[in-house]
Amino acid sequence: MRALLQRVARAPGGRGGWGSPLWGRMVLAAWLILVVVLGPLAGKLGDVEDTGANAFLPRGAESARVNTELEKFRTDTIVPAVVVYTGAAPGAKAAADRSAFARFAPVGEEVSRPVPSDDGRALMTVVPLDSEDDVTAKVDELREIAHANAPPGVDVEVGGPAGSLTDSVAVFDSLDSTLLLATGLVVAVLLLITYRSPVLWLLPLFSVGFAAVLTQVCTYLLARHAGLPVDPQSAGVLMVLVFGVGTDYALLLIARYREELHRHEDRHTAMRVALRRSGPAILASAATIAVGLACLAFADVNSSRSLGLVGAVGVVCTFLAMVTVLPALLVVAGRWVFWPLIPRHGPPARKADTVWSRIGSAVALRPRWSWLMSVAVTGVLALSAAGMSMGLTQAELFQDKPESVVAQERISAHYPSGASDPAKVVTGTDRAAEVRTAAAAVNGVARVEDGADRTPDGELTTLSVVLADAPDSTAAKGTIDDLRAAVRPMDALVGGSTAEALDTQRAAGRDLTTVIPIVLLVVLGVLIGLLRALVAPLLLLATVVLSYLAALGASNLLFEQVLGHAGVDWSIPLMGFVFLVALGIDYNIFLMHRVKEEATRLGPTRGVLEGLTRTGGVITSAGVVLAATFAVFAGLPLVTMAQMGVLVGIGVLLDTFLVRTVLVPALAIDLGRWFWWPGTLFRRFGHGEDDGPGTAVPGPAAPAVPAAPTVPARTRGVRR
């Protein structure tokens, strides 16, 4: 597998590749043609997004089957908007609004009369809307009418399923543009700080822009012609992932290219060598992230499957762009693009005592103490995840309460809490009366509505069951279980929003036990193939899992104590695990690939120190960029997105500053040659020979290893 990775990664750096001055111009021309021809398709991604009732539900769940059955009942499926009036004497306002609302009702439907609450302090009007019309636009009009001319002391809110849908769509409508703008700004600022060049920072951004276009085109085509599931959430996360991963690869490649510019006078040769040296690590990283995300295809929850598969497409497209467009831009621009810190041909001026050499020396002095303390710190943070409160209600899904949530709170205060969003029971018409009787007898059911709806052929009937508790409460979910048990003997199905929340919660638990082992096995296989060892991959994987648990615990403290969240959404542990294992192993791959290269000539211990010194700055910059891009989610109004951004951001920072900087190097130094068992390095360094001849573990003031000499012209292109 390692040989395959090397062949694929080095393909652009072959003899007919970057060694030719025309190669960069040809690559840029090809990409420009591709963008011009296929670019218009990138804007059509929204056309294939699935916003249907089952887009965020588990495959095969009973609530999803109910939604499918409900499509058979009528072509003008009704989505109710619920208008609730509270305060002093709201009757006149409610009556006037009912007349104004009449024009929104489809043919054959009518707006309900205002229904008074038992305490006489509220009125509720149900406005039926046609789901095939623009529901969100109609709800906006309803809200304008309801809020206009309200008497003093009367509060009016529009909620119900139509109101909830409108508020959710409003969040996702601004998601793409908000995320793209914020992410681009964050990446641009961090690149300016990293490179301190007025020009160089533009090249990674241009390259990521090409990657974004290719990603959107491929995602659209796969969704249109191959059934790739795409929903608004996965489409929003996609661009953040492309920016974060693409910038990471750019930082790694540019750092290696800068090194080779000191060794090679010809910039095309320098790029060819840089791709040969860094290509396998970048490819292994992309493969790990893509395959890890693709493992979400085994999840039951449709939104998780969509996020994983769409993310995998984005990573592959990003890899292709960053190893072609970025090298082309760099070689065409020339050395001046690094101004004012232009890398000149010849040994670089390198400080003997850098931050990373000092860290490496400190770790090397007490490696066992270093990794034990690192494990202790992450372990303490991980303990905070033990008391994590799982699950969010509809009201808790938003950072700021939208109108539909306020409306539900008003309804719950004055009516049976489930009145605005009843459960749906689908049954055969011949058994409808029996099902009605069984449902009404269930504890927690307030009432079964008198009316019923039938399919055009009369075979199926749907009943509306009002629950006594709030639709998204734990008690209501228990009632759904009892209701299903009561009507199951009559082959009836129970759906609705409460049933959907219950099914999603249980599927999320099943997905954790199914997907996590698959991801671990896949990532372990990639690491074994790259490092040709067994101990190192197992330890690297263990450190990333420990980092994930620590990030989960730290995030939980932040959610509860700082952000004031009521709990953690059921989807977060799985999403966070897949992203952090896939992205966190990234930095271990970058570090250990360089460590293995240096250990071949310097020995295991010196190889670790030199690898850490060489990659410390670039990997830290990459980690900060990736964490910052995901931190953009924290400002979004949707709590689930904010929680995922915070969790991934904290996890990446832990990987960058603790796991990759201290824990992994300390383990590698402490184990010595056994870290590479049973691979080539383990066999190469015999018993008791930790390092190559004439080397020793440097102390704090020891000089850094000098740069490798320039490769003679007759041996250029030959692997050293």
Q: What pLDDT is recorded for position 686?
A: 65
Q: How far apart are CA 280 and CA 523, in angstroms?
A: 15
Radius of gyration of the chain (CA): 30
pLDDT of residue 341 exceeding 90, the answer is no
Same domain, residue pair 39 and 154 = no
Looking at 105, 133, 164, the residue that finishes a domain is: 164
- Ranking 324-333, 560-569, 691-700 by mean pLDDT, the lowest is 691-700
Side-chain half-sphere CA neighbours of 421 within 13 A:
29
Sole residue written with tokens 């009145």: 419
Indicate whether this model's pTM tops 0.75: yes
Q: How far apart are CA 102 and CA 112, in angstroms?
A: 9
Query: Crossing angle of helices 432-440/474-487, nearest 10°?
Result: 140
Q: For residues 174-187, give the mean pLDDT.
A: 72
Distance set, CA 563 to CA 168, 555, 559, 636, 650 (Å):
21, 10, 5, 13, 15
pLDDT of residue 703 exceeding 80, the answer is no
Q: How far apart are CA 247 and CA 321, in angstroms?
A: 11
Query: Residue ranges of the alpha helices (H) in 558-675?
Result: 572-602, 604-631, 639-654, 664-671
Task: Please report, as a single letter, which amino acid is at residue 40.
Answer: P
Instruction: Write out pLDDT tens, residues 253-309.
Output: 888 888 888 888 888 888 888 888 888 888 888 888 898 889 988 988 888 889 899
DSSP lists the bridge partners of residue 464 as 424
Residue 243 lies in a domain: yes
Same domain, residue pair 581 and 591 = yes
Helix and strand tally (H, E) in the chain?
24, 8
Same domain, residue pair 25 and 99 = no
Closest C-alpha to 12, from 247, 328, 288, 398? 328
Q: Is 451 exposed, middle or buried (0-12, 13-18, 19+ CB in 10 A)?
A: exposed
Q: For residues 123-151, give the mean pLDDT.
A: 87
User: Looking at residue 309, which CATH number applies to its domain?
Assistant: 1.20.1640.10
Lookup: tokens for 385: 């995840």
Task: Please report, as a single letter, which amino acid is at residue 580.
Answer: L
Instruction: Write out pLDDT tens, residues 78-133.
Output: 788 999 999 888 888 899 999 999 988 888 788 999 989 878 889 999 999 887 77
Task: Please report, as a single letter, which amino acid is at residue 574.
Answer: L
Tell me which DSSP letter residue 661 carries. I
3-state class (DSSP) for residue 427: strand
Over the chain, what is the mean pLDDT? Answer: 82
**Predicted confidence band at 650 (pLDDT cuts at 50, 70, 90)?**
very high
Q: How far apart are CA 108 and CA 63, in angstroms?
A: 27
Specify whether the CB–CB gap between 677 and 640 falls below 8 A: no
DSSP lists the bridge partners of residue 156 as 85
Q: What is the DSSP string of 360-391?
A: HHHHHHSHHHHHHHHHHHHHHHHHTTTTPPB-
The count of residues in the chain is 720
Residue 169 lies in a domain: no
Residue 297 lies in a domain: yes
Q: For residues 477-494, give the mean pLDDT.
A: 92
Q: How far apart are CA 303 and CA 61, in angstroms?
A: 14
- Ranking 414-418, 437-441, 484-488, 551-555 by mean pLDDT, the lowest is 414-418
Same domain, residue pair 595 and 698 = yes
Q: For residues 617-645, give the mean pLDDT.
A: 82
Q: Can you list the positions of beta strands (E) in 100-232?
A: 115-116, 122-130, 154-159
pLDDT of residue 11 exceeding 60, the answer is no
Question: How do 78-87 and 154-159 pair as beta strands?
Answer: antiparallel
For the chain, what percent of residues have pLDDT higher than 90? 19
- In sign, the C-alpha dihedral spanning 706, 707, 708, 714 is negative
Same domain, residue pair 189 and 278 = yes
Residue 133 lies in a domain: yes
Q: What pLDDT is recorded for position 350?
A: 58
* Of 437 and 594, more confident: 437
Q: How far apart are CA 482 and CA 380, in angstroms?
A: 41
Specify whether the CB–CB gap between 282 and 319 falls below 8 A: yes
Q: How far apart are CA 503 and CA 443, in angstroms?
A: 20
Same domain, residue pair 108 and 192 = no
Same domain, residue pair 285 and 326 = yes
**Residue 4: how many CB atoms within 10 A of its CB?**
11
Q: How far apart are CA 644 and CA 312, in angstroms?
A: 17
Closest C-alpha to 378, from 551, 555, 580, 559? 551
Q: For residues 516-539, give the mean pLDDT.
A: 87
Question: How do 445-454 and 122-130 pair as beta strands?
Answer: unpaired
pLDDT of residue 502 exceeding 80, the answer is yes
Question: How do 122-130 and 78-87 pair as beta strands?
Answer: antiparallel
Q: What pLDDT is recorded for position 309?
A: 92
The domain tally of the chain equals: 4
Same domain, residue pair 292 and 338 = yes
Q: How far apart are CA 633 and CA 642, in angstroms?
A: 5
Specify whether the CB–CB gap between 298 and 510 falls below 8 A: no
Same domain, residue pair 198 and 344 = yes
**Predicted confidence band at 687 (pLDDT cuts at 50, 70, 90)?**
low
Sole residue written with tokens 């079964």: 448
Give residue 472's domain range.
62-69+415-502
3-state class (DSSP) for residue 353: coil
Specify whether the CB–CB gap between 526 and 287 falls below 8 A: yes
3-state class (DSSP) for residue 555: helix
Same domain, residue pair 577 and 718 = yes
Lookup: tokens for 12: 């652009």
User: Looking at residue 478, which CATH number applies to its domain?
Assistant: 3.30.70.2520
Phi, psi of 111 (to 5 degrees): -75, 135
Q: How far apart are CA 220 and CA 225, in angstroms?
A: 9
3-state class (DSSP) for residue 191: helix
Residue 233 lies in a domain: yes
Distance set, CA 396 to CA 338, 405, 429 (Å):
48, 9, 38
Report the Cα 559 to chain-centroid distance in Å: 18
Closest C-alpha to 528, from 708, 355, 284, 353? 284
pLDDT of residue 512 exceeding 70, the answer is yes
End-to-end CA distance of the chain: 20
Distance set, CA 50 to CA 45, 57, 228, 244, 633 (Å):
11, 12, 10, 25, 22
Task: Bin 443: left if φ > 0, else alpha if -120 < ψ < 50, else beta.
Answer: beta
Q: How far apart are CA 353 and CA 349, in angstroms?
A: 12
Residue 204 lies in a domain: yes
Residue 480 lies in a domain: yes
pLDDT of residue 708 exceeding 70, the answer is no
DSSP lists the bridge partners of residue 452 as 463
Same domain, residue pair 493 and 574 = no
Q: What pLDDT is recorded for position 622?
A: 81
- Ranking 148-152, 179-183, 600-604 by mean pLDDT, the lowest is 179-183
Residue 388 lies in a domain: no
Edge to edge, the sheet with strand 115-116 lists: 115-116, 122-130, 78-87, 154-159
Same domain, residue pair 557 and 619 = yes
Q: Can you list the positions of beta strands (E) in 455-517?
A: 460-467, 493-495
Q: What pLDDT is recorded for position 720?
A: 31
Distance set, CA 543 to CA 206, 339, 363, 382, 665 (Å):
34, 39, 17, 13, 11
